Amino acid sequence: MHSSNLLEVKDLRVYFYTYAGVVKAVDGVSFSVRRGEILCVVGETGCGKSVMSRAITRMVKPPGKIVSGEVLFNGIDLLKLPEKELKKIRGREISYIYQDPGSVLDPLYTAGFHVAETVLTHSSSMKFSEAWEKAIRIFREVLIPDPEAKAKSYPHELSGGMKQRVVIATAIANTPKLVIADEPTTALDVTVQAQVMELIKSLRDKYSSSVMLITHNLGVVAEVCDRVVVMYAGKIVEAAFIEELFTNPLHPYTQGLLEAVPNPLRKIERLRSIHGSVPNMIDLPKGCRFNPRCPYAFKLCNEEPVLMEYSKDHLVSCWLYRR
């Protein structure tokens, strides 16, 4: 494992065994998260982003199954770690920020209790009163106004933005090395989205944590990310630093995503859309999975491409760039 990488995922495969057939939700995914960086995973709904993120800490429930692969966190393969040891890592060294705070927060407990409980779970020597004080300090860090009062509030008494800040506070309560943010701004309005993303970025800088941000919003990607991984139908099709991806997108799918985003600097009468729809994950196309939707498809696309290096730190899975 390279010393600059906090997390390395190698050839990860997660399949769902259903009555209709096998869904290859994550099929041979490999990538890394470097120390102190924000890595964005981008793709349409159903491409396997969330499943992949949950597989990192083995939180895939039946009928899903992690078929093969390695997930190296600080050199330790989490897929081979005993469950007792893995529980010490979940919530402490690797934490999650989910997209719907309303479903994450228990309506029976106060906002402060959620954070205090997370602290106590990984610190048996701490008293509840100390954990509660820490919760209030963290609320102050995530810019929750009047944190003492908000800590005593129940989820239904908080706005969507405040609830998401409580979820973020819970995620950073134990100063994790890696925060996985799964569509953290989906249920929020535009102004609150910007505040939450700026908050995540500032917390990364303060705690020197790494962040893996899962999103379909390329505007968010441009604003906060260092590197980008583009997923399509369970596979990675492109990976690059943010500037490189926006100035020189290689894969036709990446190009289509960028052309579908409004650009105030360009005068366009009509936005382009990607032809067709996401393939049936049980009955996948032969060869390249983007083949049926690709405007550049040719005979070789009936064979499956591999993720190859186009230039330094710029990977692409497309036969157009075969050497």
Helix (H) or strand (E) holding 67: strand 64-73
CA distance 70 to 79: 6
CA distance 274 to 295: 9
Angle in degrees, CA 204, 207, 208, rounded to 5? 65
Locate the domains of the chain by residue range.
5-93+176-321
Ranges in the chain, pLDDT < 70: 1-3, 187, 262-271, 323
Tokens for 124? 């048996």
pLDDT of residue 155: 94
CA distances from 117 to 76, 122, 128, 214 (A): 27, 9, 8, 26
Q: What is the pTM of this model?
A: 0.92
pLDDT of residue 264: 55
Tokens for 116? 């205090």
Give the model confidence (pLDDT) of 223-252 as tens digits: 889 999 999 999 999 999 999 999 999 999
pLDDT of residue 177: 95
Q: Which fold has domain 5-93+176-321?
A: Rossmann fold (3.40.50)
